[in-house]
Amino acid sequence: MKAHDGMYLDGAWRPAVGKDTIAVVNPVDEQVIAEVPAGTAEDVDAAVRAARAALPGWAATAPAGRAARIAALRDALAAREDEIAGTVTAELGAPPPFARAVHTGMPIVVAGSYAELAASHPFEERVGNSTVYAEPVGVVGAITPWNYPLHQIVAKVAPALAAGCTVVLKPAEDTPLTAQLFAEAVHAAGVPAGVFNLVTGLGPVAGQALAEHEGVDLVSFTGSTAVGSRIGAVAGAAVKRVALELGGKSANVILESADLARAVAVGVANVMGNSGQTCSAWTRMLVHTSRYDEAVALAAEAAAKYADRIGPLVSARQRDRVRGYIERGIAEGARLVAGGPGAPREHGYFVSPTVLADVTPEMTVAQEEIFGPVLSILRYEDEEDALRIANGTVYGLAGAVWAGDEAEAVAFARRMETGQVDINGGRFNPLAPFGGYKRSGVGRELGAHGLAEYLQTKSLQF
């Protein structure tokens, strides 16, 4: 696609206030493929004003009418599936099959789910002598990350539109081209002017201006816990609604009775998907001491198969950060059994699929989010020990439990301090709430729970 040199504001592409631009780099060959405007506080203000002006009309649109626009948006995205997938490959480095199936196919399904929810959700109910109305919270400032550039946009914009909110989107600076394609799809879908607005720019400039803007009623942010904490503080000071989907250090707990070979294979695949750039990845594999050596051997063998199958990391900065974590893990006593910090290719931001064994719970690689293709394998003595290790981080986003008996796995999962747990390889469900405990965030995305984030309640007594 050809990049737009302006912002999508009030239903049209308009010139940015300033002249500064952001270079978009292909992480496979390190070449600049496009430039987009670096938005300023003035651009954000114009976008928020457009969203504010469009809010009364969109909020008053019947749910069926909003559902029709979201369905049209889904169809517009589906019609350009190949182009979107190619764009994600170009600016994120995702291998084409993964870009099409996960980065493009999944958000199209999610958009469709919100078209259905917008039409079916009970926006009013009787409670005794009261009628309770679910009303849009107002103007939403959506700040999205680069790791799933379309999915994270759809997971915020679709429920916001379904709720009757208007939106200003500030996408990650590494992957703005996918966001511009999304804006084109919004336009093609006939969404009224001002209901959706796009400002590209840097986080500390455009992102901060959006989070702080007095015309924004809710800030929805996905990204690092450090930045989310600052956004939460800004929103709290303004008594403004906030939804935060932050970091993770999810545990993949393999109980003694589990099918070890399958649990390890699926666990390694989970970590290597998207080159490890997934907040909910099961980056800690917990194995009983009696089966530990076997699990390490299986994991090393499985990881080696991904050497030529995974894409690069998104940027040189991210690549260097991940390599630094691998080096630190080894320095703290972890045993390298696959991959390592060396450069696997002459060009591109690649990191080898890496497995670290003999990791202990207090090591940096067992506590901090690495965000790369790095698996840490920890040993446990019994189930109480496994639970202590699984819950022993500041995060609580996702996880997995494997056992020969499903009830055994469920009993363990119920004791985990985390927002989502897959039982024996349970499939992704786009209608299930996604979000975290502890420092992994506030609020939920996807399904009816994701829609509820963008609604506020009013009760009338009779």
Residue 381 known to be catalytic? no
Q: What is the pLDDT of residue 377?
A: 99
Choosing from 91, 165, 279, 453, the catalytic residue is: 279
What pairs with residue 35 in β-bridges? 23
Residue 245 known to be catalytic? yes
Q: What is the pLDDT of residue 420?
A: 98
CB 71 within 8 A of CB 185: no
Length reported for the chain: 462
Cα within 13 Å of Cα(206), Cβ side? 31
Q: Which residues of 21-56 are buried (b: 16+ CB within 10 A; e: fewer)?
A: ebebbbbbeeeeebebbbbbbebbbbbbbbbbebbe
What pairs with residue 115 in β-bridges? none
DSSP letter (8 states) at residue 445: B
Give the integer Cα–Cα distance in Å for 441 and 43: 28
Sign (positive/negative) of CA torsion 222, 227, 230, 231? negative
Instruction: Give domain limits for the chain.
Output: 6-246+440-461, 251-430
pTM: 0.97
Q: What is the pLDDT of residue 306?
A: 97
Residue with tokens 């996408």: 171
Q: What is the pLDDT of residue 2?
A: 83
Phi, psi torsion values for 457, nearest 5 degrees: -110, 145
312-345 per-position pLDDT tens digit: 999 999 999 999 999 999 999 999 999 999 999 9
Spatial CA neighbour of 453 closest among 246, 241, 167: 241
Spatial CA neighbour of 122 closest among 162, 156, 161: 162
Enter the CATH code of domain 251-430.
Answer: 3.40.309.10
In one-letter notation, the amino acid at residue 343 is A
Choosing from 91, 184, 245, 453, the catalytic residue is: 245
Question: Would you identify the CATH topology of the domain 6-246+440-461?
Answer: Aldehyde Dehydrogenase; Chain A, domain 1 (3.40.605)
List the alpha helices (DSSP H) in 164-255.
176-188, 208-212, 225-237
CB 281 within 8 A of CB 373: no
Q: What is the pLDDT tens value at each position of the chain, 462 positions in all?
A: 789 999 999 999 999 999 999 999 999 999 999 999 999 999 999 999 999 999 999 999 999 999 999 999 999 999 999 999 999 999 999 999 999 999 999 999 999 999 999 999 999 999 999 999 999 999 999 999 999 999 999 999 999 999 999 999 999 999 999 999 999 999 999 999 999 999 999 999 999 999 999 999 999 999 999 999 999 999 999 999 999 999 999 999 999 999 999 999 999 999 999 999 999 999 999 999 999 999 999 999 999 999 999 999 999 999 999 999 999 999 999 999 999 999 999 999 999 999 999 999 999 999 999 999 999 999 999 999 999 999 999 999 999 999 999 999 999 999 999 999 999 999 999 999 999 999 999 999 999 999 999 999 999 999
259-285 per-position pLDDT tens digit: 999 999 999 999 999 999 999 999 999
